[in-house]
Chains A and B, each alone.
Chain A
Amino acid sequence: MTSSPAVAQRPHGRRSTPESRAWWLGQAMFFPAMIYVLAVIGLPFALAVIYAFSDIKVGSVGYHFVGFQNFSSILRSATFLRALYDSFVFTIGSQVLVLVGSTFLALALEKKFRGRGVVRFLMLLPWVAPVSIGAIGWKWILDSLYSVINWVLVRIPILHLDKFNPPQWLGEPALAMASVILVHTWRLLPFSTVILLAGLGAIPKDIPEAAEIDGAGFWRKMFQINIPMLLPILNVALLFGIVFTFTDMTVVYILTRGGPYDTTQVIPSLAFFTGVLGGDLSEGAAISLFMVPILVVVAFLMLRQAHRTEVT
């Protein structure tokens, strides 16, 4: 990045110089976008907070401030606590799988080979298709009666599965959790892989070569050179992944609607059912605000990472 002496500075004197004009122009060009985004994001966010401290429902008249009442009642609700637990399980479970999977996949894709373009295309599909489309596709694959996975599993003698009582991927709590984690992982793998591939590409070629000459074998190169150099990128991919998973309601909504019996409910989907379908705006807003701490932590980590790479 070149630093040009003509970088606009805030104007000091009264004379209008090219630098000061540029600065004002910069502000003018930036403002519409910033105002728009702030308005459509900042205002609702403030509103959410306001709602959460009230007892507002759809059709309420007037506003009553109720303090922390909503929060305390939520924290006592078993459904909410289960949803909180689920949110973490899904996020951590899927992120671990995504990290490991995408590392393998990125390393495998790194070198050119015939058909690489095809593999890349196939591998991208889960990310590219709209979330809901992918999820509904999986719903069919995991269907209670017609699941193709069950069709195959039932026919494997070792597993001793009952043909008339196959695993209910979306009907039994533990399996449903596994399914949701699986679909989240499936969806995020391509994104993470692409980022890792970019990171791998950014490693200058001669560093692994120097390691080779220094005597490092395959595993040492992998774990002491390649992966440590990938850590900043892995970090970025992980943080994005956490945000995408933790705040997602689509997968749960489409696969299980939070069932069976709210065992796969997550915070965003609970907020939806409560606040949008149920009309209880204040409680819904309060539930969704519980995502904020995680997001703040993630934001902080991201900024720190960005600052670190800035310094170098």
Chain B
Amino acid sequence: MAVVETRGLTKVFKQGELGAVNNVNLLTQEGEFLVFLGPSGSGKTTLLRMIAGLETPTAGEILIGGQDVTHLSPRERRIAMVFQSYALYPHLSVYNNIAFPLKAQKVPKEQHRQKVEWAAGLLGIGKLLHRKPRELSGGERQRVALARAIVREPTVFLLDEPLSNLDAKLRASAREELEEFHDRIKTTTIYVTHDQVEAMALGDRVVVLHQGVVRQIGTPREVYDEPADTFVATFLGSPPMNLLEADGVIVGFRPERFFPAGLLAPGGSPAETKLASQGGTRVPLRFHVEHSEYLGAERILYGILEGTRFRDKPVCARISSNILEIYAPKTTYDFAVPEPELKFFDAQTGKRIPPRPFSWQ
């Protein structure tokens, strides 16, 4: 188990253009599950591949377990990787797929069976050892890929969007399996995804990347509740944070923090009281609902803030189904946002700034 560190890591594909990865510095903690999160083109996969040794950095260093591996080939880095397509060797049985790294690393033959069975047992695929990859389901293939990765007991695990090829239902259970897997082996793991729900669910910390630059590193709570800039604020959370710009400042508030005003009065249900006790002050806003979506567990209301200078900017609110009131379209209601929930960003740089006076009219 080791710690992965990058210093000033940069990768430029085309001379003169912006790099795919720009000056990334990060340091994992031992045994943590670190997620690289970002949209396509954010450089997250390139970053992962550089750590794996499949791409050569244009500048910067990579250290694994304190050793500079920047110029080492993948096989010399003692890492394991699970690819998006799993990359199982189609002409080999599951057993031989898992045994392949052992053969390649010249592990003595006598140990092969024992290690393969250990890895297979860990992932519950002991019964599939004689099958070929094409006979397996998506979930089974993932497990074989994981077994193959773990059989050499690597110091670092790299996973490149392994869930994106599975269909939605399977994804949830596969995600659970991954979590259990990590709990059991406790190896430092770096996981790449564009799905922010996955990132929040799996990650001990999340590295949010955009255009090759690290926007924020933090726990899921930190990146969600205290975003470092507007990109992070809007990338996490669905529907995204409402952002309104005026006077060189952008103010944002999350749809789920945008409540019917009545809910914030003291007294009432425990949930309501808790909301009320959050810092007292609130900003009242007249919300004119234009249309709503019923999603079962919650409702999303789309509309505009009437009577403010933002009346032409659409905003939305997220109301849990626990709240039984009806908020009908073409009607205006009294809504409010608790003041501590307002996040402020500099309009030019997008970066987070401390709260400051803000005029709604």
Contacts and interface: CB of A to CB of B under 8 A. Distances in A.
In the complex they form, do A and B come into direct contact, defined as C-beta atoms under 8 angstroms apart?
A: yes
Contacts of A207: 87, 89-90
A214 B100 contact: yes
Interface of A: prevailing SS = helix
A204 B52 CA distance: 18
A210 interface: yes
Contacts of A228: 91
A209 B85 CA distance: 12
Given A213-B74, A215-B75, A206 B87 contact: yes
B73 A212 contact: yes
A50 interface: no
B183 to A, nearest CB: 24
Contact of A204 (B85, B105, B134): B85
Q: Among A215, A217, A224, A229, which residue has the most Cβ atoms of chain B within 10 A? A: A215
B181 interface: no
Q: Place the interface of chain B in its size category.
A: 20 to 34
Interface string B266-308: 0000000000000000000000000000000000000000000
A211 interface: yes
A225 interface: yes
Interface in B63-108: 73-75, 79-81, 83-85, 87, 89-91, 100-101, 103-105
B189 to A, nearest CB: 15
A199 to B, nearest CB: 13
A216 interface: yes
Contacts of A217: 75, 104
Nearest to B96: A224
Q: Among B52, B74, B134, which residue has the most Cβ atoms of chain A within 10 A? A: B74
B18 to A, nearest CB: 24
A87 to B, nearest CB: 33
B85 A220 contact: no
B104 A209 contact: no
B148 A214 contact: yes
A39 to B, nearest CB: 41
Given A220-B104, A312-B134, A213 B89 contact: no
Contacts of A211: 89, 100, 104
B201 interface: no
Given A215-B104, A215-B105, A204 B74 contact: no
Contacts, number: 61
Given A211-B100, A228-B91, A312-B134, A216 B85 contact: no
Interface string A220-236: 10001100110100000
Interface in B113-161: 134, 148, 152
Nearest to B77: A213
Nearest to B73: A212
A241 B257 CA distance: 72
A201 to B, nearest CB: 16
Nearest to A220: B104
B90 A213 contact: no
Contact of A216 (B75, B84, B134): B75
B49 to A, nearest CB: 9
B54 interface: yes
A213 B91 contact: no
Contact of A206 (B80, B83, B103, B134): B83
B134 A210 contact: no
Contacts of A231: 91
A210 B104 contact: no
Contacts of B90: 207, 229, 312
A222 to B, nearest CB: 13
A202 to B, nearest CB: 11
A225 B104 CA distance: 12
Contacts of A220: 103-104
Given A204-B85, A206-B85, A213 B100 contact: no
A216 B104 contact: yes
A213 B75 contact: yes
Nearest to B49: A209
A210 B105 contact: no
Contacts of A312: 90, 134
Given A210-B81, A211-B104, A212-B75, 15 more contacts: A204-B85, A206-B87, A207-B90, A209-B74, A209-B87, A211-B89, A211-B100, A213-B52, A213-B54, A213-B80, A214-B80, A214-B105, A215-B152, A216-B75, A231-B91
Listed from nearest, the 5 A-B pairs whose CB atoms lie closest are A215-B104, A210-B87, A214-B101, A206-B87, A215-B75
